[in-house]
Structure 1
Amino acid sequence: MQMEQTDLKAAADRVYRYLMFSSPESWGGHEWAEWAMERNRWDWNPGVGLIAAADYGAFCGAEGMIQAVEVWTEQNIGGSEKLKVINSLAPYAIFPLLYRQTGNRFYKDKAEEMAIWLIKEAPRTRNGAFEHTVTESASFSEQVWADTVFMAILFLARTARLAGRKVLAEEAMSQTLLHLQTLQDKETGMLFHGWNGETGDWMSAARWNRANAWIAVGVPMIAEEAGELCGDMKLIGELRERYSRLAETLVRCQNESGLWPTVLDRPYFYEETSGSAGIACGLYKAVRAGWIPAELALASADRAVAAVLTQVREDGAVLGVSGGTPVLGSVEAYDHVPTFPTLYGQGLVLLLFVEKLRMIAST
């Protein structure tokens, strides 16, 4: 156990360093490499990485890691004023932690300001879900994406707890359930990547690995922050029931390698690391929360940790991570998305390693 903990901590340190301090010469030659690894942008990709870096710093009690996150915020906060969309909310999820660590009132006030904007002004689809909006010049009118749960609703839940505001907690929990109701396949329990309210379908109907991961890891994080303050036991009961069904089917479709294919019901598609890490992290978190039984999920999550470790390069870069992926035109198109290191890939793997270290420390 001690050797496992030591090896995992060393890998987490490498992933963290590559996330926060790698330089362009190590990013590879792919045409999307700069977008994938450039930290100094206010967007979801750096945001996911920063959420993980802050979580790791808090877990380790490492003041320097928290300071690095704060430095990033100070350098990039100007970019937050350029537009307000779902994907640009992800970095704000670190503000509650920064407020607790530093006492700087700016973080609390700004988080509350953006949370109020989200619940009062952000575009919604006809069924009331937050419409998935992005920083790029693209519109996905009437579309509900699984990604929104992690990019925006996690921030809302954390701000609800920070401010002690029931209305924010209720919206966070209601939106989480609404996304599951909209995206969960009744037949399999898996989640589709997105729903188009205008056409009334799941578009390509891809049961995409990372879409399932955003919700698998995001739901227990959201419930931990907002569940008690929301207090709607009927809502929470349905959310738990749906999550349990998701967890059961995710465990069943895991490959023998310990990873999951990039489309869950296509086992012959390539295996994708970031989604696999997010799914396994979610399983650990759900077990710790008492949402799913340990005997269902821990062996599966442990196999995933072992497999993900083999994808961490010596310099800390995480391999096998698919590039940024909107809802694609066909299921087959997901198998052709290129892979390379990304900030969100680093982040999801770091979140997994931290959760496993947390599990080890509690035994």
Structure 2
Amino acid sequence: MNRSEAAETAKRVYRYMMHSESNEWGRHEWADWAMNVDRWDWNAGVGLIAAGEYGTAASEDGIMREIAEWVDRNRKRSEGVEVINEMAPFAVFPSLYRATGLAYYRDEAESVALRMMERSPRTRNGAFEHTVTENAIFREQIWADTVFVAVLFLARTARLLSDRRMAEEALRQVRLHLNVLQDEDTGLLYHGWNCETEDWMSAARWNRANAWNVCAVPMILEETKGLCESSETLEEIARRYVRLIEAVATRQNPSGLWPTVLDRPDFYEETSGSAGLACGIYKAVRLGLVPAGMKACADRAVPAVIRKIAATGAVDGVSGGTPVLESVEAYDRVPVFPTLYGQGLTLMLLAEAAVSA
């Protein structure tokens, strides 16, 4: 990987994510939802998490100031937030507290984390039910997305507060999600599980569902290290995670990308999930969670992802917002366009690749 090329590309990806104008987003009906950063939801939250990772890796102090400015502009939108899909922006609060010393970030992170632990709807086995801002209810459903958009925040807050109970809950959620979503035959994760009907609904081994976990689990383990003493929980997470990485590696296309459904190589290749998978593999190798040889898999993905980035910094080939769909085939019909989470996962990959080079 050419480091200077990756660094310049990352700057363009960041600019498009945080500073592009509506006339750059295209004319499709989802453009504002996809790229308007001033919303308090998971889409912008993934972008903010990525911005923080990128700022740290590139030693760009100004990025943390921009994240703080985003919070100042949008904090009123966070009042009363309780649904799982709205937790993601709070994941930057621990870093903001460390950077600024402002008690607001620490106190708000603690308050929201406690509220999530005590009041968020749970499935019958104790997992966080995947609640969303849209007018839809997914009762008794466990989605892979939750690990990145909510559990990561809980783990970061546990580290900030040195709170063992929060750390244990974060790891418990990771274990529950991997336990019910991992296909024992392939090692891949299904998109979701319905505790009421006891099935995987569409039974799609969706690219981005796997990416949310491949990327988030090393981050969560790093944040909770030393705070949780449950060896049984940690051992199961480690065992399932290694199996997941091994399964993902075998599904990578010769191009370096992964298809939007991992066991359907005839489906289109999807950029955001591919970036998240490669980023997670880099993190896992760096933390010693998987063998060093797995790094080659991520190395192959980087140039393939870079080829999907336009001169403007827009990341192409990103599938739109995707609930658990009615069939596996439906995933191949999801339209593609630039999104904040697509920019974010790509930015995280570029930042991690630079560190892991």
**TM-score band, normalised by shorter chain:** over 0.9
1:1-150 residue pairs with structure 2 within 5 A? 4-150=2-148
Report the counterpart of residue 304 of structure 1 in structure 2: 301
Identity of aligned residues (%): 59
Report the counterpart of residue 320 of structure 1 in structure 2: 317
Report the counterpart of residue 237 of structure 2 in structure 1: 239
Other structure's SS at 1:203 match: coil
Report the counterpart of residue 225 of structure 1 in structure 2: 223
Is contact 1:173–1:227 with CA below 8 Å preserved after alignment?
no
Is contact 2:58–2:351 with CA below 8 Å preserved after alignment?
no
Q: CA deviation at 1:137?
A: 1.2
d(CA) in 2 for partners of 1:54, 1:309: 20
Q: State TM-score, norm by structure 2.
A: 0.99
Q: CA deviation at 1:83?
A: 3.3
Q: Once the two structures are superposed, what CA deviation does each residue of 1:85-127 show, in whole Å capped at 9, x if it has no partner?
A: 0011000000000000000000000000011011111000001
Q: Once the two structures are superposed, what CA deviation does each residue of 1:189-240 show, in whole Å capped at 9, x if it has no partner?
A: 0000000011110001000000000000010000000132112222111111
- Is 1:359 equivalent to 2:346 in the alignment? no
Is contact 1:227–1:236 with CA below 8 Å preserved after alignment?
no
d(CA) in 2 for partners of 1:227, 1:252: 29
Other structure's SS at 2:264 match: coil
Question: What are the ranges of 5 or more consecutive residues in structure 2 without an aligned counterpart?
Answer: none
Q: State TM-score, norm by structure 1.
A: 0.97
Is contact 2:208–2:274 with CA below 8 Å preserved after alignment?
yes
d(CA) in 1 for partners of 2:225, 2:327: 36
d(CA) in 2 for partners of 1:232, 1:358: 30
d(CA) in 2 for partners of 1:41, 1:281: 25
- Relative to structure 1, the CA distance from residue 250 to residue 286 in structure 2 (aligned partners, 3 Å threshold; closer, same or farther) is same
Report the counterpart of residue 206 of structure 1 in structure 2: 204
d(CA) in 2 for partners of 1:18, 1:228: 38
Is contact 1:274–1:345 with CA below 8 Å preserved after alignment?
yes
Q: CA deviation at 1:81?
A: 1.3
Other structure's SS at 1:351 match: helix
- Is 1:252 equivalent to 2:250 in the alignment? yes
d(CA) in 1 for partners of 2:80, 2:219: 28
Other structure's SS at 1:228 match: coil
Query: Which of the residues 278, 281, 286 maps onto 1:280?
Result: 278
d(CA) in 1 for partners of 2:292, 2:126: 35
Q: CA deviation at 1:82?
A: 4.5
Q: CA deviation at 1:169?
A: 0.3
Q: Once the two structures are superposed, what CA deviation does each residue of 1:284-324 show, in whole Å capped at 9, x if it has no partner?
A: 000011010011x1111011001000001001000000000
Runs of at least 4 residues off by over 3 Å: none
d(CA) in 1 for partners of 2:295, 2:288: 12
Q: CA deviation at 1:60?
A: 2.0
Report the counterpart of residue 345 of structure 1 in structure 2: 342
Report the counterpart of residue 163 of structure 1 in structure 2: 161
